[in-house]
Each structure stands twice: as C-alpha cells, then as structure tokens.
Amino acid sequence: MNSRSINTLGNQPATLIIRLLAPLVIDQDASALDPEVHCLCYDAKGVLISENRQCLSRCAASAPDAELYLLLALEDVFVSSISVKSKKSSQLLKAAPFMLEEALATGIEDQHFALAKSNANDAHPVIVLSNKKMQDCLELLQSHQLQTSLITVDIFLLPYVYDEYSVLIDYNGRALVRTGPAEGFCCLVSELNALLDDLLDNLPLPPEIIHCVYLDTAMGNESEGLFSDSERLSSRMQPLSSDELFSQLPPLANSAPNLLQGDYLESRNQSAKPNKWRYPVCLLLLWALLVSISSQYDYQQLYKANEQAESDIQQLLREYIDKPVTNLSAEQQLQEHLEGIQVAANIKAGFIELLLRITPDLIGYNPDRSRAVNIKQIIYQDGQLQIFISTAESEMIEALRVQLMSNADQVEIDQFDISDGIASARIRLYE
C-alpha cells in the first residue's frame, strides 16, 4: 500500500479528503462494505500533511477531528453545467432537471441534482446522482462513523486552468481526465491515448498543456511510453508529481457542487451515527412539558373559577340578605340570617343544604352575562324550593331545569309566561 507523510511535525489535520477509488456497489448492504480509498490530509493552512491509500474504516482514526470531504468516482455521476442568470439556488434546483432531462439516460424523478456557484459566464456546474446511490453513500458513511460536510465527484479534485487538461493515473490503472470547468471523463489507462487523440481531433483549439500525474510511481515507470505514439500528445505532456498536484487544499467547497443540498441538506448537520434513543427521549420530554403546562393551565383556570364562584355567592347574599357581607362562609351567613328571622330548625337545615347545592348551577352554568338568568325571588316552604326567574331567551329556562336535576330529586317548571320578549317562570325543586 502506497503511503506518504509530509511535514507532519507539529501539524494537526484540519481537512481530510476521502476519494473512493471505485464506483459504489449497487444492491449490496452498504454498511457491510469497506472500500479502498485515497486519503489526502491537510492542516489548518491548507498545506498537505499526508497522502495514502487505505480502507475506509481506518479514516475516522487517522483524523478524528478533521472536516471531511467525500469524493465519489466519476462513473457514479453525470457531470454537466447549465447557464442561468438567476442567483436563487431554489430556482436553479428546480430548473436543472428540465434543462438536463434529454441528456440523462434515466428519468429525472429518481435523480438527485446538485449545483455549484456560477462562474463569470453564469454557468453553474451540475452533478446528478441517483437517489438510490445517494442513500447507499450516506449509509456507507454512517456505518463507519464518518460525518461529512461535502460530497462531490473526484473530477473536481483535479485543477482546471483554461487551455490546459489534467490527467490522473490512479493506483488501479484507472485514468481520470478533466477537460473543462464541468467536463471530463474516466477510462482505463490502456484506452487513454486513443481517447485523448480523438478528443484533440474534434477541438478547434487543442490545449497547450496536459498535466499528467501517476499516483503509483511503479505504474508511471511502466507507462513512460504511453503517449509516445502520438507526437501531438507527447509534445503537450507535462509530468507532475502527486506532491505538486495536491500540495495545497483544492477549493472544493467553493467550486464543486455539493450533493448535500436540496432533500439531503439536513445530512450536513446530522451526526454520522445518530443515537437511536434521541428522538423517543425528545418526544417523551416534550410530552412531559406539555402535560406540565396543561396541568398548570387547568389549575389556574380552576383557581379563577373558584374565585369567581365565591364572588358570585357573596353577591347573591348581598342581594337577598339584609345584612352586610362579612368574612363568614356562605353557609354560616345563611345560618345566621335564618336564625334571625326565626325559621324552624328542620326547614332551615333543608333550605341551606339545597340552596348551597344548586348555587353553582344558578350562577356558573352559563358564564355569558348577556344571556344570564335573572333570579327574581327564592322561597322555601314545605320542603320545596321555589325560584322565580326571568331571561331574554326562553330556552335557557329548560336548560337550567336540566342542569338542576343533578342536585334535586324532582324539578318542575310552572307559571311560564312571555311578555315584551322576556320569559319568566317558577322552578320548583323538591328534596
């Protein structure tokens, strides 16, 4: 396995670029995969610390606190660009699928689109990945406890300069070529010479320089004569070492489309392996908070209703007892009043008990004062409580009778009359 460390003394990794060396495997359990990757580690100043090839499972341990960028293989995505003057990302995301529909091999319904910032010509690089592969990618990261802030395609790792191409010969004999801001291709090394030659034939202005980098030194030595058959290619070739190519952190965050947008935007802020108890615990705490608030509200409402009932009882006593209202309870005040007018003990006891039972119904069954029943007179005689009432709405008399049925053995209405829009009646309650 090829591995290098560069100027590691005193430098802590700040950014880790993980590049998949092969396309995502379809129809397999992503959590069971541990693919080989190309890792590039940079310090806080964007200087390359180390470069190596290792398994994905080892990446978390190599730079646990670094910001992570994941680069997918070009074979997995469709890369293009659209020219739109609008600067609103929401409008661009809506327009991109319809502008690229004819160029895609499959329908746009199952595809995920990601755009980058526009260049001077209002051209926005676009990458398209199937939703199935996007889900597989996220599951792969979660299975290895990796949290990434950027997912894009490996072609943007190569630099682009006008009138120049970049070619990267990978460890496994794969060639990656960038030919424009959002253009490029990948192929086997054995096919590279012919494809580049055909490409130059169809260009009005061929590139002046083609940068070529071999990640595996041994493969570079074996491929010295790769472009020797074409004088046009060999004259443009400018070999670079991987240290030269990757010495500075590429501007991926500003120039490459990030697949973590649109429907997958929330994945940026989610942990790599979410706690399965987090949402149930949050819901439980929310439920407890709501119950507490509801109980407090109910307590306040009952407290206010009790205060209002006490106030209404005191008001009744002011109206029907010819004595000032004191701090004595309603029952004690009635007791004293009846003793003062020398009411018989058995009548007094029944009257107080029955009156106290029905008082909340007389006062509080309808809090709308504009519709309240007006109590004209209350008479207690022969174990019978007679209440003379009047109201602007006649149906309220029957409603009051039904309400009082819960506190008396028998409730009757008689002497019912309507005059000048006011209904009056006598309600008789029997113990």
Looking at the domain 311-430, which fold is it?
A: Gyrase A; domain 2 (3.30.1360)
The label of the residue with tokens 């119950």 reads 291
CA distance 354 to 385: 8
307-313 own/partner pairs: CB under 8 Å, 24+ apart: 308/364, 309/360, 309/363, 309/364, 312/363, 312/364, 313/359, 313/363
Residue 162 to residue 183: CA distance in whole angstroms: 12
Give the pLDDT confidence score for residue 221 in this predicted structure.
Answer: 60
Query: 1-154+250-274 and 160-244: same fold?
Result: yes
- DSSP for 16-31, please give it: EEEEESSPPPTTS-GG
What's the pLDDT score for residue 71?
95
- Transcribe 252-289 into DSSP letters: HHHHSPPSSSGGGGGGGTS-SS--TTHHHHHHHHHHHH
Q: How many residues does the chain have?
A: 431
Cross-strand partners of 38 = 19, 53
Pairing between β-strand 67-72 and β-strand 150-153 as defined by DSSP bridges: parallel
Both structure tokens of 13:
């990794």
Q: Kindly tell me the sign of the dihedral angle through the C-alpha atoms of 162, 115, 150, 58.
A: negative
Separation of alpha carbons 154 and 175, rounded Å: 12
* Cα distances (angstroms) measured from residue 229 to each of 205, 226, 336: 21, 7, 124
Secondary structure letter of residue 47 according to DSSP: B
Architecture of the domain whose range is 1-154+250-274: 2-Layer Sandwich (3.30)
Instruction: List the pLDDT tens digit at each of the 431 positions of the chain.
Output: 455 555 444 466 789 999 999 998 767 776 678 899 999 999 989 999 988 899 998 887 877 788 999 999 999 999 998 887 766 777 777 888 888 888 887 778 888 998 887 665 678 889 999 998 999 899 889 888 888 999 999 999 999 888 899 999 998 889 999 998 889 999 998 899 889 988 888 888 889 899 999 888 766 565 566 777 778 888 888 888 888 889 999 988 888 999 998 778 766 555 444 455 566 777 888 888 888 887 888 778 777 877 777 777 767 666 655 555 555 565 566 666 656 555 444 444 556 666 666 666 665 545 455 556 777 878 777 777 788 888 887 777 887 778 777 767 788 888 888 887 788 888 888 76
pLDDT at 341: 54
pLDDT score, position 42: 92
* Closest by CA position to 185, among listed 77, 24, 71: 77
Residue 385 contacts residue 429 (beta carbons within 8 Å) = yes
Q: Where are the domains of the chain?
A: 1-154+250-274, 160-244, 311-430
**160-244, CATH topology level:** Nucleotidyltransferase; domain 5 (3.30.420)
